[in-house]
């Protein structure tokens, strides 16, 4: 009988010891209630409590990822879209997260959905698609203010998916195509303007140097000859210029020949004056004979 009693006492002692010793993990804090009142916060490690008197609530301090369900939202320009997001939050004050609200995760999920609908509804469709960073920041700031008194800090909110109606997708595709065509035409026009400017500058240079145009024509003929073409078209200005060059060279050769003949005189030869250049000679009867006449 005594042995049985000792066994029962030992079993009760082990049970009480197991109930009185609690382990708080490194990423947790323990909120200790004694007879329904908060008496403190237990840090990570082994903690002893009074069985049946104390209650220890463990609260995780890690960042929690919470998906926000897709919400049907009407934007400011009356376009219906479905938007889903994801929020990241963590508990900063364990006592508030246990005492101030019953279920902090469910509360944050609900307020995140309503805040998402409210913020996106204040923007147009184009702003929703292009200014997601600003929308994310606005949602996070609103949630952070609302959850501060719950001992929770919202660290990040990101829009995850934006679903558009099919008709709106087709309209946006047509708009994007038109925008691309507009840019292509503008770029082509700018290229034409630059090319016209360059051609004008080249024309001024060729006007000052006429042979530059002919050199350009010859270069074009060389480029045509690379493709082994059987037909070569000579521009009319080139043919006229070739004729003018030939006339110019003939005139230069004739002038050079005359100059050479005028400057060259044979050796030991006395030039005879022309008859009209001889002086008149007197005759005995007092008459004057014409130049070159004899009596």
CA gap 183, 118 in Å, rounded: 36
And the tokens for 16? 């009480």
* CA dist., res. 258 & res. 18, Å (int): 136
pLDDT at 202: 81
The reported pLDDT for the residue numbered 265 is 52
Q: Is the pLDDT of residue 278 over 80?
A: no
41-50, 127-136, 213-222: least confidently modelled range: 213-222
Model confidence at 237, in pLDDT bands (50, 70, 90)?
A: low
289 falls in which pLDDT band (50, 70, 90)? very low
Residue 228 confidence (pLDDT) above 70? no
Residue 293 has pLDDT above 50, yes or no: no
Chain centre to alpha carbon of residue 13 = 73
Q: Whose structure tokens read 């708080």?
A: 24
Share of the chain above pLDDT 70, in %: 79
Higher pLDDT, 88 or 288: 88
Please, is 22 exposed, middle or buried when counting C-beta atoms within 10 Å of its C-beta (0-12, 13-18, 19+)? Answer: middle
Q: How much is the pLDDT for 262?
A: 77
> What pTM was computed for the model?
0.58
pLDDT value of residue 233: 62
* Of 139, 134, 137, nearest in space to 117 by CA: 139
Mean pLDDT value across residues 60-76: 90
Taking the C-alpha atoms of residue 190 and residue 242, their distance in angstroms, rounded to an integer, is 38
């Amino acid at each position: 009988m005594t042995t049985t009693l000792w066994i029962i006492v030992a079993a009760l002692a082990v049970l009480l010891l197991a109930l009185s010793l609690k382990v708080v993990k490194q990423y947790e804090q323990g909120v200790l209630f004694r007879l329904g009142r908060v008496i403190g916060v237990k840090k990570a490690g082994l903690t002893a409590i009074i069985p049946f008197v104390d209650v220890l609530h463990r609260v995780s301090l890690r960042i929690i990822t919470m998906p926000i369900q897709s919400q049907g939202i009407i934007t400011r320009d009356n376009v219906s879209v479905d938007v889903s997001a994801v929020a990241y939050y963590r508990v900063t004050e364990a006592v508030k997260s246990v005492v101030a609200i019953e279920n902090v995760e469910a509360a944050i999920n609900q307020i995140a959905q309503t805040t998402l609908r409210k913020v996106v509804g204040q923007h147009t469709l184009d702003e929703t698609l292009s200014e997601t960073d600003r929308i994310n920041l606005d949602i996070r700031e609103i949630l952070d203010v609302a959850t501060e008194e719950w001992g929770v800090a919202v660290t990040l909110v990101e829009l995850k998916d934006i679903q558009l109606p099919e008709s709106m997708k087709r309209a946006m595709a047509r708009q994007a195509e038109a925008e691309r065509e507009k840019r292509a035409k503008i770029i082509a026009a700018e290229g034409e303007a630059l090319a016209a400017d360059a051609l004008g500058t080249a024309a001024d240079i060729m006007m000052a140097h006429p042979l530059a145009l002919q050199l350009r024509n010859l270069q074009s003929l060389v480029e045509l000859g690379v493709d082994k073409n059987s037909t070569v078209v000579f521009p009319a200005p080139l043919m006229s210029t070739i004729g003018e060059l030939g006339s110019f060279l003939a005139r230069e050769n004739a002038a050079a020949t005359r100059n050479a003949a005028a400057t060259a005189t044979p050796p030991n030869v006395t030039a005879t004056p022309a008859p009209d250049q001889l002086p008149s000679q007197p005759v005995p009867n007092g008459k004057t004979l014409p130049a070159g006449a004899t009596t």
